[in-house]
Amino acid sequence: MIDGFIALYIFALAAILGFEIIRKVPVILHTPLMSGSNFIHGIVLVGAMIALGHADTTLEKVFGFIAVFLGAGNAAGGYVVTERMLEMFKPRQKKQDDDGAGS
Amino acid sequence: MMETIQAYLPSLIKASYFLAAILFITGLRRMSAPGTARGGIVWAGWGMLIATVATFLLPDMHNMVLIIAALVSSTVLAWVSGKKVAMTDMPQMVALYNGMGGGSAAFIGAMALFNAVDHLGGCTAGTIVDTATAHDCLSGVSMVFAIAGVFIGAIALSGSLIAFGKLQGWIDKRYVFPGQHFFNGLVALGTIGLGVYLTQDLNANYIWFFFGLSLLLGILMTLPIGGADMPVVISLYNAFTGLAVSFEGFVLQNEAMIIAGMLVGAAGTLLTQEMAKAMNRSLASVLFGSMGGSGGKAIEGEMKEIQAQDAAIQMAYADRVIVIPGYGMAVAQAQHKLWEMTEMLLDKGVDVKFAIHPVAGRMPGHMNVLLAEAGVPYDLIEDMEDINGQFAQTDVALVIGANDVVNPVAKTDPESPIYGMPILNVDEAKNSIVIKRGKGTGFAGIQNALFFADHNKMLYGDAQEAIAKLIQGLKAL
């Protein structure tokens, strides 16, 4: 059971961690990082599944369905987009290294 | 055997959530360095998969058909749209997926509140019941978090959708009317007031009303914001969604949600501040001020045109060239042609660098992503602080569809709305060439003194076509 104060500790520690991780990030990674953090809050999907899994009334089922639908979109879309962006961050290729040696 | 598994299942599920949280943290950490970034998203992806599978194993889960239907249909839709979208449209896709997450959190919160209304008679005030298992009563603290999550999540949902519409070009105007800030302020106060009232008197009609008002507030907040400020706004809503997810995680007593949500909430807030700082704007002025229009002195002089052939010669015989890409390059999808041209220059022994302004394009790092897509090695790409001192020793600065970020009035004209914004010192280069579609002003609607400078030449045309002509010119040499 997580009570208010335990939650406060978790909130604070996670927040400090978030600040520290982002603090020294090169501009080059800002967009992928925003996209990546966008994917991470896709964990809301788990909450939506739990909520729909315990829904009784029709209203709750409708809301739960929407929540799972939206949450899954956040997670899946966030992953694909981030993965595509980061796919491009390959180190300079060997061939170019050789060519570029003279310049 | 089955019984043993049953007995350990709750711990196994908890352990899975723990593992997911750790994978998210390490994943985000890896994503923050270029070398490990690619692996970071994969780590985080495993965390998501583990947490999702574990959730299916939770005891007392009903509506499995509904869950799987929503999960599979949405995953397929998002996966396909995410794969298909062009790299230049990434910012609005991030806005869209982010809005979905915020919406999900808001609906979860609303469900918890409706459920609490249904069981209001059976609950004594202040009792704490595990909502994930009993799901009947809300403690006071949980109720406050549920309400706050609905509020923030709904704003992130409707606000992100407006941002998506603006970047997609569906909503092309800024909607401004007299007394707008006052009106928006009233709506905000009214919504928060209703939220506070809900903690005292939870009732279904008011929950609907509260949800609706929060959505409306997100729309009202975002409509007056200009396109140039959209990246900051998307980043802000990203942080909002993180917070909302964290709050609803408390309501559902789910540690993975609390940690991942708050991690993003904090990281997103810092990212938002950095972006606003790079534009020399405070977050308040982005949200409540409005940029653009007429401010600043008129500029005397004439823009001088150059032909592609001459521009190609000038670059081919230069020692140093700095390329400054902007949104014009993104719209024209000119990054591949640009790299082709750059390789030709490199072959001729020209020292070519790319200078990226922190807010070039529609999002910080947008240009880096596009250049990386075209195969430009990232050690040729320099941040503003690193390259600004080098312009004075540069023979040709080639500006491709960038405008406000190279406008020297930001340094010289205190009346200009962009005064004080850090810019790339293209005006210090020995020569500069600006590829631009027409003679109009940029996103902020401000005249650019660089275009009128003596050592500057304009190469009119779409970025893609203009660079194609430059390549032809280089081949002809």
> Each residue of B24-34: pLDDT tens digit?
999 999 998 87
pLDDT bracket for residue A98 (50, 70, 90)? very low
Residue B106 confidence (pLDDT): 98
Q: Render the burial of B236-252: b for 16+ CB within 10 Å, e for the rest.
A: bbbbbbbbbbbbbbbbb
In Å, how far is A100's CA from the nearest CA of chain B?
7
Does the structure show a pLDDT above 60 at B396?
Answer: yes
Quick one: pLDDT at residue B7? 82
B contacts of A28 (beta carbons < 8 Å): 34, 356, 365, 368, 378, 381, 383
Residue B12 token pair? 């196994």
Per the CB < 8 Å rule, is A100 touching B241?
no
Helix, strand or coil, per DSSP, at residue A25: coil
* Minimum-distance CB partner of B108 among A40, A47, A75: A47
Q: Which residues of A touch B230 (CB under 8 A)?
A: none
Q: Do A46 and B254 touch (CB under 8 A)?
A: yes
In this prediction, residue B129 has a pLDDT band, given cuts at 50, 70 and 90, of very low
- From A86-95, B315-324, B391-400, the region with the lowest mean pLDDT: A86-95
Q: What pLDDT, on the 0 to 100 scale, is given for residue B447? A: 79
Tell me if chain A has a CB within 8 Å of the CB of B10.
no
User: How many percent of chain A have pLDDT more than 90?
Assistant: 58
Contacts of B78 in chain A (CB under 8 A): 72-77, 80
Give the model's confidence band at A30: pLDDT under 50 very low, under 70 low, under 90 confident, else very high: confident
Q: Which of residues 373-392 of B touch A (CB under 8 A)?
A: 373, 377-379, 381, 383-384
| List of chain A residues whose C-beta atoms are within 8 Å of the C-beta of residue B158 | none
- Give the closest of A60, A68, A84 to B115, CB-based: A60
Confidence band (pLDDT; 50, 70, 90) for B128?
Answer: very low
Q: What is the rounded distance in angstroms from the CA atom of residue B136 to the CA atom of residue B213?
A: 26
Q: Is B404 a catalytic residue?
A: yes
Contact B324, B458 (CB under 8 A): no
Short-list B348, B366, B354, CA closest to B390: B354
Task: Give the pLDDT mean for B382-394.
Answer: 89
Task: Report d(CA B380, CA B126) in Å as an integer.
Answer: 60
Going by their DSSP bridges, the two strands B320-325 and B431-436 should be labelled as unpaired
Q: What is the mean pLDDT of residues B431-439?
A: 86
Give the confidence band of B231 by pLDDT, cuts at 50, 70, 90. confident
Q: What pLDDT score was predicted for residue B289?
A: 63
Alpha-carbon gap: B327 to the closest alpha carbon of chain A (Å) = 15
Q: Which pLDDT value is given to residue B229? A: 79
**pLDDT tens by residue, B170-186:** 887 677 788 888 899 99
Closest to B424 measured CA to CA, from B410, B443, B440: B410
Q: Is A54 on the interface with B (CB under 8 A)?
A: yes
A8 contact B CB<8A: no
Q: What is the pLDDT of residues B235-292, one digit of tens each?
A: 999 999 999 999 999 999 999 999 999 999 999 999 888 877 776 677 777 777 655 4
Q: Which positions in chain A touch B248 (Cβ < 8 Å)?
A: 44, 47
What are the Cα distances from residue A18, in Å, to B205, B212, B270?
37, 31, 9
Distances (CA, A) of B167 to B176, B177, B327: 18, 21, 12
Query: What's the whole-number mean pLDDT along residues B21-47?
Result: 92
> For B127, how many CA atoms within 13 A lie in the half-sphere containing its CB?
15
Q: Is the pLDDT of residue B133 over 70?
A: no
Residue B121, pLDDT score? 58
* Per-residue pLDDT, A103: 37
The answer to whether B117 faces chain A, any CB pair under 8 Å, is no
Section B123-139 average pLDDT? 50
Give contacts of B 188-207 with A, CB under 8 A.
Answer: none
pLDDT at B130 > cutoff 60: no
> What would the pLDDT profile of B296-349 be if each residue is shown by its tens digit?
566 767 788 899 888 999 999 999 999 999 888 888 889 999 999 999 999 999
